[in-house]
Amino acid sequence: MDVISVIRTKRDRGRLSDEQIDWVIDAYTKGQVADEQMSALAMAILLNGMDRAEIARWTAAMIASGERMDFSSLPRPTADKHSTGGVGDKITLPLAPLVAACGAAVPQLSGRGLGHTGGTLDKLESIPGWRALLSNDEMMGVLRDVGAVICAAGDGLAPADKKLYALRDVTGTVEAIPLIASSIMSKKIAEGTGSLVLDVKVGSGAFMKNREDAAELARTMVGLGTDHGVKTVALLTDMSTPLGLTAGNALEVRESVEVLAGGGPADVVELTLALAREMLDAAGLKDADPAKALRDGSAMDHWRRMISAQGGDPDATLPVAREQHVVTASASGVLTGLDAYAVGVAAWRLGAGRARKEDPVQAGAGIEMHAKPGDSVTAGQPLLTLHTDTPERFDYALQALEGGVTISPSGTEFKPQPIVLERIA
């Protein structure tokens, strides 16, 4: 095998053989294929695609590059969730303890934010003492004691994906559906969960901007999960508007705790419950009632135990940014547009996200939203509060918000997009 022939095959719209796929993933993981060569192959895949058999083999090769976890010794069925990323998407935080409170084990391996999309681990690290890095034994211990764990994937889990993901991010190939699907599913299958629910975002704040591409990605991932014996279902959900009323790290933790306490924004509660019901159904726990677990405090109890088990203090005061700037409504009327991408980029520029994987984030940075599409507003009313430790970032963030807020005349009819657009199984 040689990498040039593999690149040429896909460049010329050919089908990669099983042997070519196995070889190139193994050689890249070992450093025998250079980054610039894998970049060329990734671009060829973006432009020319892969068939289902190619994607399945690519995923299997990624899984084979590392270890596989096994949760069969747990006394509970396992269920996991993965989101393709959005703005204000704090759903994992209340969802994992909620599903655990209903009887499933949730081994949630999460990631960090990059670009305009937030990262679950960055959010949780705003809690004093909380640790993202756990050994496999520690992870199993938390699952046995609490029923839910949210942590970083270990270096031994699909190392080929870890290397390729970083490369895709800096070569304009993140959006390649075969590579997105294999990246997500190689980690989730290697993780060893018995069932998986996928939250595939659609809209301006998502990687998939239109419903057709999102549905194709969802079908591809559901097929991969099914082929590897993992019961998999996907929900297509709206990401044209940010979820909830916050985008940031500590800001989103605060809002997640409100949901666990029985309150919180209606859209966050609705999506959390929809995903919880899918996870419990996939795990064979159809009679469990996640809404009851929110009401009776058991979900909150599991949250507190989960945070404590990973070294965090659930009662600690969360970080607050040193500086704030209020954006007011330019006119009276109906707020008919709050673009998720604009809000996400603004939060990123305020310090809530990172441009490179190694960049630090500000725990208190982000955006509070005081109105959502459909609300009536008056001129001068606060619409957004920007938070950062570095006020020189405000102008740059405000540039990102230009054109992202739409106020229509009073009386304008507004029909909100449903949160869950489609179910694919």
- Based on the residue annotation, tell me whether 12 is a catalytic residue of this protein: no
80, 161, 199, 238: which is the annotated catalytic residue? 161
Closest CA to 293 of 148, 77, 144, 94: 94
Q: Which is the catalytic residue, given 39, 126, 183, 256? A: 183
82 catalytic per annotation: yes
Active-site residue (options: 82, 123, 188, 387)? 82
User: Of residues 10, 112, 187, 387, which has the active-site annotation?
Assistant: 187
Considering all CA atoms of the chain, what is the largest pairwise distance in Å, rounded to the nearest integer?
Answer: 67
Annotation says 161 is catalytic: yes
Q: Name the active-site residue from 116, 163, 168, 188.
A: 168
- Examine the residue annotation and report whether 219 is marked as an active-site residue of this protein: no
Catalytic residue numbers, as ranges: 82, 161, 168, 183, 187
